[in-house]
């Protein structure tokens, strides 16, 4: 006489003629009953089609979920297209999967964490969320939080020295003090508009990745004895082929035509290279182009892109490992200059 078609701990215990604590122990606390008894119960459950305690109820009771939310800076939709973000996710998921933890994707466009906060053990935040209210809540939320590429004084964080890396790559690209430099920046401004940027003073204290990189560029430009015109910086609102191409075309058509293009992502640099080639320019003779990230496509392109390689996958692994260990610490990730033929 089998009972309901969907078993619960209670109903299965009754069916087996044991107390529900015994069934619970059989699944969760092997030390609380004899091995024989345990296996007998497990076998009986399996035969009846009971696969173990309901996870939702278990979580409500225990307060743990085996789910971590990956908070993306933008919409999930947008993030999935970014090869750098994808690498990061790969690293995170590799570690979590190995530990039986599931990954919930959460958009940084959300106003708050409410819809997931009660379902997860904590948050790994990849980049500062676009929505500022969300950032405020992340500072306070009573769960474990690991931040990546930004810092809000929470449990742990993983960072790359963006400023130093940008300095290095720019230093490498700039060789003569009569170089004409232009910067193709990624998300320098809050608003979603593709345009030149004039208000440079705003960036001096900015903590976003873009601002850190900009400072690195500026430092190298200044070190090279070059003066950067105040109309030589573009803001690209998102790392897409389309926007990048438009900005690159604009920059390469501007007067004086730049002979060095500092690009804040490889996707942008690749788009710039395509535009330059399309305009009949030689790389690097007419224009040197450097990127940032070190994505595969850049290394396959002809000419090979000179860029900063940051190991995003490792960044993901470290972030996940830090999350699991609950260590409170700040990790700094290495980067390498990857010299190609584009500079």
Is 328 near DNA (CB under 7 A)? Answer: no
Question: Stretches 6-14, 202-210, 239-247, 254-262: which one binds DNA (CB under 7 A)?
Answer: 6-14
- Please provide the DSSP assignment of 286-337 as one string: T-EEE-SB--HHHHHSSSPPBEEEE-HHHHHHHHHHHHHHT---EEEE-EEE
Pick one of DNA, its own copies, none as the site partner of residue 106 (Cβ within 5 to 8 A by kind).
its own copies
Is 115 near DNA (CB under 7 A)? Answer: no
Is 20 near DNA (CB under 7 A)? Answer: yes
Chosen residue from 1, 3, 24, 158 binding DNA by CB under 7 A: 24
Pick one of DNA, its own copies, none as the site partner of residue 10 (Cβ within 5 to 8 A by kind).
DNA
Is 34 near DNA (CB under 7 A)? Answer: yes
Q: Is 158 within 8 Å of 333 (Cβ atoms)?
A: yes
Distance CA 292, CA 59 (A): 42
Q: Is 300 left (phi over 0), alpha (psi -120 to 50) or beta?
A: alpha
Radius of gyration of the CA atoms of the chain, in A: 26
Rounded to the nearest whole angstrom, what is the least distance from the CB of residue 328 to DNA in the complex?
25
Pick one of its own copies, DNA, none as the site partner of residue 75 (Cβ within 5 to 8 A by kind).
its own copies
Alpha helices in the chain (DSSP H): 9-16, 20-28, 35-48, 55-62, 76-79, 83-98, 114-117, 132-140, 162-173, 209-223, 241-253, 266-278, 296-300, 312-325
List binders of DNA among 41-80 (CB under 7 A).
52-54, 57-58, 60-62
Rounded to the nearest whole angstrom, what is the least distance from the CB of residue 49 to DNA in the complex?
13
Is 341 near DNA (CB under 7 A)? Answer: no
Helix (H, G, I), strand (E, B) or coil at 103: strand
Q: Which is nearer to its own copies, 212 or 275 (CB)?
A: 275
Question: Stretches 14-22, 190-198, 218-226, 301-309: which one binds DNA (CB under 7 A)?
Answer: 14-22
Rounded to the nearest whole angstrom, what is the least distance from the CB of residue 201 to its own copies in the complex?
36
- Please provide the DSSP assignment of 267-283 as one string: HHHHHHHHHHHHTT--T
Q: Which residues bind its own copies (CB under 8 A)?
A: 6, 51-52, 54-57, 59-60, 65-67, 75-78, 80-81, 86-87, 89-90, 93-94, 97, 100, 102-107, 109, 112, 114-119, 142, 241, 274, 296-297, 300
Chosen residue from 1, 5, 6, 285 binding DNA by CB under 7 A: 6
46 CB contacts (<8 Å, ≥6 apart)?
A: none
């Amino acid at each position: 006489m089998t009972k309901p078609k969907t078993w619960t701990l209670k109903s299965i215990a009754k069916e087996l003629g044991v107390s529900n604590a015994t069934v619970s122990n059989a699944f969760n606390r092997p030390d609380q009953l004899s091995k024989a008894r345990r296996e007998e119960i497990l076998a009986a459950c399996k035969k009846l089609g009971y696969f173990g305690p309901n996870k939702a109820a278990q979580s409500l009771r225990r307060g743990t979920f085996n789910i971590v939310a990956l908070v993306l800076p933008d919409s999930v939709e947008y993030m999935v297209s970014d090869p750098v973000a994808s690498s990061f996710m790969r690293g995170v998921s590799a570690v979590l999967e190995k530990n039986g933890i599931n990954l919930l994707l959460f958009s940084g466009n959300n106003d708050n964490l409410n819809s997931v906060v009660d379902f997860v053990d904590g948050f790994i935040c990849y980049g500062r969320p676009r929505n500022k209210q969300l950032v405020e809540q992340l500072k306070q939320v009573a769960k474990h939080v690991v931040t990546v590429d930004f810092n809000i004084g929470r449990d742990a964080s993983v960072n790359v020295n963006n400023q130093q890396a940008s300095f290095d790559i720019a230093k490498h690209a700039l060789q003569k003090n009569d170089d004409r430099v232009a910067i193709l920046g990624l998300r320098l401004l809050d608003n979603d508009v593709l345009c030149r940027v004039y208000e440079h003073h705003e960036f001096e204290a900015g903590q976003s990745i873009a601002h850190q990189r900009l400072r690195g560029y500026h430092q190298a430009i200044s070190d090279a004895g070059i003066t950067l015109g105040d109309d030589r910086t573009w803001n690209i609102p998102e790392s897409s082929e389309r926007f990048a191409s438009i900005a690159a075309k604009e920059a390469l058509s501007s007067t004086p035509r730049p002979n060095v293009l500092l690009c804040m992502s490889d996707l942008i640099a690749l788009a710039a290279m395509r535009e330059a080639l399309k305009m009949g320019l030689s790389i690097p003779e007419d224009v040197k182009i450097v990127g940032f990230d070190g994505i595969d496509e850049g290394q396959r392109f002809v000419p090979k892109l000179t860029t900063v390689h940051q190991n995003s996958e490792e960044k993901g692994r470290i972030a996940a490992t830090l999350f699991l260990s609950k260590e409170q610490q700040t990790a700094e990730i290495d980067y390498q200059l990857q010299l190609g033929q584009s500079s």
